[in-house]
Structure 1
Amino acid sequence: MKSIRTKLIVYFSGLILVVCAIFTFVSINALTNAVVTEAEKSLETQAQNSADIISSRNEQNYIYLEGDCFPG
């Protein structure tokens, strides 16, 4: 590393690698947070849909047990 050209190439290459590593770390964190948030929203929606179905089936069973399904 006697020439200034070689020193500059090494220093700037190192700087570029550090900046790329930082951007990669930030991007991965942002992506992970976005995926987790979407998964949580999807699970909440699925849980609500399942609860609605179960509630509807329970309501049908109650109506049947009360005898409302038979005329007279």
Structure 2
Amino acid sequence: MTNNEDVIKALHCMTDAAYKGMKDTIPMLAKKGRASYLGERSIGHQDPGATSSYLILKTLLETIESRHKSK
């Protein structure tokens, strides 16, 4: 495995964990941020911070994979 493949494998693990974490926020009661003002009504909504973190990692992974394949 090359160093680039190690990075890609690590990013896959990170992206998978971020996706799971993002989905796991849906049944949670928000305790911080704007959503905390909603109280019980925040339950059933995906956390926007978790969503943006997942999207950043996913985009980074896709970019690195596409550049690695084009070499």
Shorter-normalised TM range: 0.3 to 0.5
Structure number with the bigger relative contact order (C-alpha 8 A, sep ≥ 6) is 2
Larger gyration radius, structure 1 or structure 2: 1
